Amino acid sequence: MPTQSEKKKWEKGDKEYGTSNVGAPFHLFTFSLFRVSHALIVLLFLAWLPAFAEPRFPPPDFTETNHQIPTTTTPSARAEWLQYLDVAVLGAGLVVALWCIYKQRSRRGLFWLGIFSLAYFGFWRKGCVCAIGAPQNVILGLFDANYTVPLSVIAFFALPLIVALFAGRAFCAGVCPHGALQDLLLIKPVKVPAWLEHALGVLPFIFLGFGLSFAATGTGFPICRYDPIVPIFRLSGPGLLISLAILTLVLSLFVGRPYCRFLCPYGALLKLASLASKWRVRVTPDVCTQCQLCENSCPFGAMREPSAGNVEPKQLTSERRRFGWLLVLVPLLIAGGAWIGSALAVPVSKMNPTIELAERYINQQKSPANYGPMTPEALSLQRAEHDSEALLKSATDLRHRFWLSCVIFGGWVGLVLGVKLASLSLRTKRTDFEPDRGACFGCARCFRSCPQELVRIGRMPAGDLPQSPVAAAAKT
Amino acid sequence: MSDKPKSESSTRRTFLRNGARVAAMTGLGALGGVLVNRSQAESWVWQIDPQKCLRCGNCATKCVLEQSAVKCVHAFAMCGYCNLCTGYFEPEPNALSTAAENQLCPTGAIKRTFVEDPYYEYKIDEKLCIGCAKCVEGCNRFGNGSLFLQIRHDRCVHCNECAIARTCPGDAFRRVPAKQPYLLKTTHAH
């Protein structure tokens, strides 16, 4: 403990503090000593310990002025109950979306719901809490016993999925702020060519696999990290992401919901779930007259045309054979993907901060790189030196986990590509124009293009219903 | 649709669909059961452990917010109220005055006020503080260590993955219960 005279001397202006007569403890931190042997560091540390236990400069008691020592302010975190409000708003939003899609068949209702969701989940909650990132929390919760998933995150993960299993992507329709923002911006939709739509359509599944395999190893949440919409909600972010966000916004003026269709990993889950949905959106309120007016009403490429009559048995046989071969290809693709995954595991694992530090520490032993004093790189190396054994051990463990998750991810990519290829050869019998179960966001745009719907809501007298080409053809 | 006779493929599809839905619901239920069993109702927020913080300066630049949610806070009860505050002054100040060239803080966020001879009080103006930890380094290396960094929860947007935590060289970030969202330094043990 420094005496009063020492302290006075110090306060008089010791110009060389840290190097001369401020006492041994401070030498520990000077950089000349960073590379001395561990033994010396431990010795110095022990010598320094007693000084650590008490303040170098005893706090004054202010006998003259009776000055009140202020307390440290601690602005509280968000109140606990507000997370239940988030879940309640999510639940209510889903109910309203379902009501707008199925009962009211109202685009306007979904528009206003979208604006509300954008304001609440987007600009008010700043994009966190969010269903899109929730699968990562869920998988980390499964693999890491030390990580507890908050109940609200479980609800955000499960509720939209349960709704999708029964009634399609009502979450996408008007509750997701990401979707709402892109939907509101869409002014001049351009039709994406089918081949491009199919090719880009596998990206969400691959991104989902990427996010989950990273989260499972505890490397972080890449789905949140590379989200191109959230920087807009926060009006700030890393430069690269801001430019990506602006690109997404500009793109969504002309391409309907580019993020939802070609990247959103939660959308991929919802797509799978709604393929099994009990109810679905139909363009017409009752009977389809085959007028084909709804053909181009969907800006998201989800409208499917009726299947063309009977197929030649010969063509059908060749298609069946192709489908069979593609099914055989699937396991090969999975195996190939897994092999590539295992080969890439080591370089990819450097994205994990612990493994990266361990690698840098080992390299530093071989060929020391010179990092500036007090830089994050130098400081983390210092930490690595302090407990190198534990670091290397946890890095080795992590690398094993990484290898496994890279193999699974590679296999997953193979599976996605294989199933996509095989599904291209599938035929579906369709008599009417119908939105695809998986691709339909439930935006309700197509309803108003149907003359039956216009009659239903009283916008058109029933007598004006156009003759359907099929009926007309039957007459003649 | 119900009055139409269902074709064979339509019933097969419906059967597959129903099967997939039941399977998915069962899976979701099991997953939810496992997680809810493990989960706690309380929410978690990010915080810096001041004992692990290495004062590298990442907090000023890596936060997703324009102005970092990490600020310097002052445990006044630990402070020596020094005239020559090594958290406030440059290593070789021209004079022990509040002139900007003598200050360590790049934004002049520390306010120095005279209390009684020879004691001065140092307060952080959070609107100006950028969380660069220069003062924290000065105070910890040569002083009592009463200045330290904390995430201010009135500013933090509670990212799912904290962008600073990912790059923290000291591994000082961790999730803490939202009810006790600060890891404050307190007076010395004795």
What pLDDT digit, counting tens, does each position of B39-90 carry?
Answer: 777 788 999 999 999 999 999 999 999 899 999 999 998 999 999 999 999 8
Please answer yes or no on whether A75 and B152 come within 8 Å at the CB atom. yes
Number of Cβ within a 10 Å radius of residue A271: 24
Q: Are B100 and B137 in contact (CB under 8 A)?
A: no
Q: Where are the domains of chain B?
A: 1-39, 44-177
The tokens for A410 are 């590679």
On the question of pLDDT at A151 being above 50, the answer is yes
Q: Please report the number of interchain residue pairs, chain A to chain B, with beta-carbon separation below 8 angstroms.
A: 219
Q: By CA distance, what is B139's nearest residue in A?
A: A56
Say if A224 is an interface residue toward chain B (CB within 8 Å).
yes
Identity (one letter) of the amino acid at A113?
L
- Using a CB–CB cutoff of 8 Å, tell me whether A3 touches chain B: no
* Interface contact B177, partner A, CB < 8 A: no
Q: Which two tokens stand for residue A370?
A: 């010179």
Q: Is the dihedral of CA A204, A206, A211, A213 positive or negative?
A: positive
Residue A170: Cβ within 10 Å count: 31
What is chain A's mean pLDDT, rounded? 85
Query: Residue A130's closest CA among A233, A10, A59?
Result: A233
Chain A: give the shortest CA distance to residue B50, in Å.
14
CA dist A280 and A32 (Å) reads 71
- DSSP-assigned letters across all residues of A296-344: T--TTS-EEPPP-SPPPHHHHHHHHHHHHHHHHHHHHHHHHHHHHHHHH
Asked if A393 has any chain B CB less than 8 Å from its own CB, the reply is no
Residue A98 pLDDT greater than 90, yes or no: yes
Grouping H, G, I as helix, E, B as strand and the rest as coil, residue B69 is: coil
DSSP A32: G
For A23-76, write each residue's pLDDT tens digit. Answer: 333 333 443 334 444 444 444 444 444 445 567 888 888 888 888 889 888 998
At A186 the three-state DSSP class reads: coil
Chosen for mutation from A17, A233, A244 (greatest number of chain B CBs closer than 10 Å) is: A17
CB A434 within 8 A of CB A266: no
Question: Pairing between strand B44-48 and B173-177?
Answer: antiparallel
DSSP-based three-state secondary structure for B73: strand
Contact A144, A135 (CB under 8 A): no
The mean pLDDT of chain B is 88
Q: Is the peptide bond before B118 cis (omega within 30 degrees of 0)?
A: yes
Output the six-digit token pair for A435.
């939105």
In contact, A446 and A294? CB cutoff 8 Å: yes
Q: Is A218 on the interface with B (CB under 8 A)?
A: no
Angle at the Cα of A391 (from A389 to A395), degrees rounded to 5? 120
pLDDT of residue B182: 94
CA distance A357 to chain B (A): 9
Report yes or no: B167 at the A interface, CB cutoff 8 Å.
yes
A265 three-state secondary structure:
helix
Q: Does B7 touch chain A (CB under 8 A)?
A: yes
Q: Are strands B147-151 and B70-74 parallel, antiparallel or unpaired?
A: antiparallel
Cα–Cα dist A402/A359, whole Å: 15
What are the chain A neighbours of B79 within 8 Å (beta carbons)? 59
- Closest CB from B21, B123, B142 relative to A276: B21
**Chain A residues near residue B161 by CB distance under 8 angstroms:** 220-221, 224-225
Confidence category of residue A471, pLDDT binned at 50, 70, 90: low
Contacts with A277 from chain B: Cβ below 8 Å:
17, 21
Which of A408, A413, A396 has its CA nearest to residue A349?
Answer: A396
Question: What is the model's pLDDT at position B1?
Answer: 42
d(CA A342, CA A291): 53
pLDDT (0 to 100) of residue A35: 42
| Distance in angstroms (rounded) separating the CA atoms of residues A377 and A385 | 12
Per DSSP, the three-state class of A257 is: coil
- Inter-chain touch B28–A278, beta carbons under 8 Å: no
Residues in chain B closer than 8 A to A54 (CB atoms): 188, 190
ipTM: 0.87
Tokens encoding A279: 């109810």
B43, B76, B142 member nearest A22 (Cβ): B142
What confidence score (pLDDT) does residue B94 get?
Answer: 85
Residues 37-66 of B with CB under 8 A from A: 38-45, 54-58, 64-66
Choice among A25-39, A248-262, A459-473, B174-188 with the minimum mean pLDDT: A25-39
pLDDT at B6: 52
Check: CB of residue A133 under 8 Å from CB of residue A232: no
Residues of B in Cβ contact (< 8 Å) with A130: 160
Contacts of B7 in chain A (CB under 8 A): 429
pLDDT at position B8 is: 57
Identify the bridge partners of residue A330 per DSSP, sorted by sequence position.
Answer: none
Residues A236-260 have a mean pLDDT of 94
Tokens of A211: 């996010």
Amino acid at A126: K
